[in-house]
């Protein structure tokens, strides 16, 4: 009987080892609270809408050549829309999160009237990083104003109410 109690207490004490620490018996109920807090932190950290506007120059005296990118990110998926000079596409992405970055992986094309070099599900579309409350993106399909790809560009994150 004594061995069963030791086993039960041991399981309860170490039920939160996956979180990097063991909790005392009185705090075991806080395990799910800690996981929920982690999820909320992720949502506040990455979730939201982002905008990137790149103006490449003047087409003529009346118009500029630019591309506007919109990123909508939620808990598990994201969509990327691009509209502008000779560019129009919308993709659905899956997400992979690490400590300091968020990887956007190609899932499927929703709409595209221009060619984008994505061949298969899981191809990397972009990496978003956060540094000192600013968000940056690097992507093999987004060029800076000098037409260099995979360059870190500043994103504008829309504020939520």
Question: What integer pLDDT is reported at residue 114 of this predicted model?
Answer: 87
**Among 143, 157, 42, which Cα is nearest to 101's?**
42
Tell me, yes or no, whether 146 lies in a domain.
Answer: yes
Tell me, yes or no, whether 72 lies in a domain.
Answer: yes
Question: What integer pLDDT is reported at residue 154 of this predicted model?
Answer: 97
Question: What integer pLDDT is reported at residue 14 of this predicted model?
Answer: 36
Tell me, yes or no, whether 42 lies in a domain.
Answer: no
Question: What integer pLDDT is reported at residue 161 of this predicted model?
Answer: 56
Tell me, yes or no, whether 84 lies in a domain.
Answer: yes
Number of domains in the chain: 1
Question: What integer pLDDT is reported at residue 38 of this predicted model?
Answer: 52
Question: What integer pLDDT is reported at residue 75 of this predicted model?
Answer: 86
Tell me, yes or no, whether 132 lies in a domain.
Answer: yes
The CA–CA distances, whole Å, from 120 to 2, 106, 107, 110, 124 equal 57, 7, 8, 14, 10
In this prediction the pTM is 0.70
Tell me, yes or no, whether 80 lies in a domain.
Answer: yes
CA 19 remoteness from chain centre: 22
Helix then strand count (H, E) for the chain reads 2, 8
| Residues lower than pLDDT 70 in the chain | 1-44, 160-161
Question: What integer pLDDT is reported at residue 63 of this predicted model?
Answer: 85
With vertex at residue 45, the alpha carbon angle to CA 44 and CA 48, rounded to the nearest 5 degrees, is 70
């Amino acid at each position: 009987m004594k061995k069963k109690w030791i086993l039960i207490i041991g399981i309860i004490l170490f039920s939160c080892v996956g979180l990097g620490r063991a909790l005392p018996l009185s705090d075991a109920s806080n395990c799910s609270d800690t996981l929920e807090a982690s999820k909320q932190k992720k949502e506040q950290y990455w979730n939201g809408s982002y905008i990137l506007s790149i103006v490449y120059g003047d087409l003529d005296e009346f118009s500029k050549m630019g591309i506007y990118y919109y990123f909508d990110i939620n808990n598990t998926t994201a969509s990327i829309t691009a509209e502008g000079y000779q560019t129009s596409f919308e993709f659905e992405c899956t997400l992979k999160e690490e400590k300091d970055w968020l990887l956007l992986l190609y899932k499927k094309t929703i709409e595209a009237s221009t060619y984008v070099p994505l061949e298969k599900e899981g191809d990397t579309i972009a990496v978003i990083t956060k540094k000192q409350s600013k968000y940056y993106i690097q992507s093999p399909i987004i060029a800076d104003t000098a037409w260099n790809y995979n360059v870190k560009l500043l994103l504008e994150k829309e504020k939520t109410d």
